[in-house]
Amino acid sequence: MNLTDLVTGGVGSKAIEAISKMTGVSESKAKWIVAAAVPLMIAALNYNAKNKGQSENIDKAIDQHSGGGIFDKIGDLFGQGGSDDGNKIVNHMFGQNTEVVTQNIADKAGISSAQVTGVLATLAPIVMGYLGQQKQTSNGGGIGDLIGSVLGGGGQQSAGGGMLGGILGSFLGGGQEEPAQETQQASTGGSMTDMLGGLAGSFFDKSNDGQSKGNILDSIAGMFAK
């Protein structure tokens, strides 16, 4: 199972069906929500692990959610509208950008931010469970290598997370902004890691307005919802 399978495969399909029932949107719109939100979560985890000294905490959290049983209870999870644990994971993932993610997905999907909060809080443990499952079948390496392999970059990413770490740095953890040209290159070519890094970095760029962020979410969703 890879990230595309998580978004649109067996697990993703269950989540999409449950989100559609939970929010009242069409399954195609629910598919868009999953395909936009899940890659953003992975990108944020990757940055936090490599650049904010959170790799050990993320590794422990992944171990705590590594039981495969969570995939069998997806419908029930969405019926509960998200848990406190799920909300904590989301806040750890996105930090001060949690509201930005929530509101822009809500605006684009045409549902309330409260509904999106519940969706994200339910998706987050599923993402962590997926990473835990991947870790159990991996050949070792750090959390950055695990997430990198999920995104297609494997252990070849630099200690800084490559393009993904560099571009997200100014938006998730401070630091110098990357040149716009580099962001554009990342979104138009290169590996999936580079493309997602460029798109996610642009999404968190405070100079982009709501319409631009919505278009970026469309591009991210388009990478995984084919």
Domains in the chain: boundaries = 3-152
Is the pTM higher than 0.85?
A: no
What are the angstrom distances between the C-alpha of 180 and each of 187, 192, 205? Answer: 11, 19, 10
- The model's pLDDT over 180-198, given as tens digits with 9 standing for 90+, comes to 333 333 334 456 767 787 8
According to the model, what pLDDT value does residue 183 have?
Answer: 37
Tell me the C-alpha distance between 93 and 95, whole Å: 6
Tell me the C-alpha distance between 104 and 106, whole Å: 5
Answer for the pair 62, 131: CB distance below 8 angstroms, yes or no: yes
Tokens, residue 108:
């684009």
According to the model, what pLDDT value does residue 69 have?
Answer: 64
Q: Please identify every stretch of the chain with a pLDDT value under 70, giving residue numbers as ranges.
A: 1-2, 67-82, 140, 148, 151-191, 193, 225-226
